[in-house]
Structure 1
Amino acid sequence: MAITIADVAARAKVSKTTVSRVLNGKGELDETTAARVRAVIDELGYVPSARAVNLARGRTRVVAMLVPSLTWPWMGEVVQGAVDVLEAEEYGLLLFTCNRGEDSMRQFGAQVAAKSFDGLLVIEPEGTLDYIATLHARGLPMVLIDDRDQQAGRIPSIGTTNHTGAGAAARHLLAIGRHQPLMITGPSQFGCTQQRRDGFAAVYAEAGHPVSEERIMLGDFTFDVGAQAIHRAIAAGVEFDAVFCHNDISAAGAMQALLETGRRIPEDVAVVGFDDIPMAEHTQPPLTTVHQPMREMGEAAARALLAHFEGTPLPNRPTIIPATFTVRSST
């Protein structure tokens, strides 16, 4: 039978509260009594519950992470970045997804109410921003890993440079002589879509080659819609010598459609994506893309939250980690 705190208290002839104070270093204790309790702990081989000790200290040493789904192509990079930081500081991670919609959020809300974790990292599931902001306003420490450029300063956040990343893609395409780009966007409701659209278009406009509306195709970050956008453009007679996609998955779909219709990549059409997910190195040809620092964003969010636990205020403005540009054979 496992040794309990009650067994230690009985052998040392003290209360369980006194044993707890010895374990947690709280309260003023007679040193002779404390030494006797420690000796009994050693004698009996008592190992206190880590959860009980942490709760007694007012901490769980657990951080929660709320994400839309683990199936997103770059999600593993963000989670791994956060886990690397948390595990190094001996914190655990409690992971919540929203795969089951409202049922998932109810389960998450129950854990919030039970104070099962010290703080929260968030990649916002669509439609939950107001709820998350309310939890923050009520005092739950949190950091948003803002992949969509839309939290508007309500919550401490880690973001990247969507606008300048798209601008880098445009400058690269201009440098290799591509003056008629087709742009396949992300969902219109996401802030990052507008940022990427504006950043790309601004560079082309400044160079004297504005991107006409007929060459802007509304997408949704999926492979199939990336391919369909190419077929629609060709069917409509739109001339283009490059494609800029707002993510790598739709870029892969666009590349497949180009090859199916006899276009050579990059000789006839150069293709650029956004994200730099692991798949980007393995498309045919390998995809030139804007690298989102997803692992670094996860690391930075976890560090900010742990620093807050030690007394450092959470940042009151977004922390920005710049995107970079990776050139491969598709351009």
Structure 2
Amino acid sequence: MEQKPKYIEICDWIKQQIDRRELSPGEKIYSENELMQIFSVSRQTVRHAISCLEFDHLVIRKRGSGTYISGPRSYGDRSVHSRQIAIVTTYIDEYIFPKIIKSIEKAVFEEDYSMQVASTHNSVEMERKILSKLVGENMVSGLIIEPTRSALPNPNIHLYRDLISQDIPIVLLNSYYPDLKVPHVSMNDKQAGRQATKFLIEKGHRRIGAIFKADDGQGHRRYLGYIEALMEAGIEIEEENVLWITTGDVEQMKDERNRYLRRMREVTACLCYNDTVAGELMSICLESGIRVPEELSIMGIDDADMSKDLPVPLTTVHNPLQRLGKLSAEVVMKMIAQGDVEEAYELKASVVERSSVRAYME
């Protein structure tokens, strides 16, 4: 049987104490430090668990005091959580998301807001469930949410519009839905793809392959930057060197290694949608006897923590995650205060050179 994630163990444990009346309404629960020691987990995991409990309205966090079991209240009484912001990302404990969530948390706590966190796992159905709950309860003051499969038509747009009709400000994170007119905060993905490709060209590469995600808007914009850089350099675009994948394909890359190895035969470098894809491609190449970067240069995007720890440290594009999280929090709080905000905040990217790309000479 698959072991439960630690944050769920913490949630279940506290729920059991509530059910057995060992914790009563208004009673303070264990501190973050105590829960870290009891379950041998990080502070981020404890905060994730508390956010899940808060999302279910089982606990209330009071700044400078602690976390308390919720008391009885009237359904839809928004004043109970009048300074609460919902944060919804595709993932929580993985990849770039801990840094983003931590910086959002710091910014909202400094302004005496609390927050609840949920994840969609890039599932449209999970996004629907979360949005439906937020619409039905009408409890939060604002919403920061990462779009789900943002390159595809989204059946949940009406739920976003329902939230807007309830005067709940929404800020989209990392991407956006073209047919939903709300502010978004992200890295400039087209610039990231363009900068990465220009870097490879400057290193002497002209046969540059790429792997992009087809179901996320970021993948399309990074592809556009890649194409623009090739055209500016007078390099012919060879579509057979571009591989399109979806969210579910990433975990199965090694099972389909021949698909990727075939596309890499005619190129000297490959730009990957993100560092996770780059890491998977690197593993496939090394396990197949293809040396990185001697035979194939590999470049990622995002500068996730794992990129430094790959068998060959990854050259990548830095995504300013902490600034991105802080800015998204500032924008939604400004909207709550009815201040003017811009339609788009797209942060500049920059190349981080490590060891996975070499200078190439024909």
TM-score range, shorter chain: 0.7 to 0.9
Structure 1 match to 2:82: 60
Per-residue deviation, residues 256-275 of structure 1 (Å, max 9, x unmatched): 12112222211221110111
Which residue is equivalent to 2:15? Answer: none
Mark the runs of 5 or more structure 2 residues left unpaired by the alignment.
1-69, 358-362
Compared CA separation, residues 269 and 234, structure 1 to 2 (3 A) = same
Cα drift, residue 58 of structure 1: 9.0
- Specify the SS of the correspondent of 2:245: coil
TM-score (norm 2): 0.68
Report the equivalent of 1:143. Answer: 171
What letter is aligned with 1:218?
A: W
Q: Deviations for 1:193-248, whole angstroms, at most 9, x for unmatched residues? A: 12111211221222122230111112235545555676335447841110110111
Query: Does the 8 A contact of 2:169 with 2:332 survive in 1?
Result: yes
- Structure 1 residue 318 corresponds to structure 2 residue 344: yes
Of all paired residues, the percent bearing the same amino acid is: 20
Where structure 1 has 5 or more consecutive residues not aligned to the other structure, the ranges are 1-48
Match of 2:148 among 125, 129, 133: 125
CA distance in 2 between partners of 1:174 and 1:228 (Å): 31
How many residues are matched? 280
Which one-letter code corresponds to 1:109 in the other structure? S
Please give the TM-score of this superposition, normalised by the length of structure 1: 0.74
Partner of 2:202: 175
Deviation digits for residues 246-298 of structure 1 (CA, Å, limit 9, x no counterpart):
11111111111211222221122111011111100111111111122232222
1:165 and 2:188 are equivalent in the alignment: no
From 76, 99, 106, the counterpart of 2:98: 76
1:183 is paired with a residue whose SS is: strand
Structure 1's 326 and 135: CA in aligned 2 closer, same or farther, altered over 3 A?
farther
Contact kept, 8 Å, 1:133 with 1:155, in 2: the verdict is: no
Check whether the contact 2:146–2:175 (CA below 8 A) recurs between aligned residues: no
Corresponding position: 1:208 with 2:234: yes
1:153 Cα deviation from its structure 2 partner: 5.7
1:189 aligns with 2:215: yes
Q: Distance in 1 between matches of 2:128 and 2:177?
A: 21
Task: State the partner residue of 1:250.
Answer: 277
Q: Indicate the residue corresponding to 2:59 in structure 1.
A: none
Residues 129, 295 of structure 1: CA spacing in aligned structure 2 closer, same or farther, 3 A cutoff? Answer: farther
State the match for 2:111 in structure 1.
Answer: 89
- Matched with 2:135 is 112
- Tell which structure's C-alpha radius of gyration is larger: 1
Q: CA RMSD in A?
A: 3.1
- Distance in 1, Cα, partners of 2:217 & 2:78: 43
| Deviation for aligned residue 1:307 | 1.8
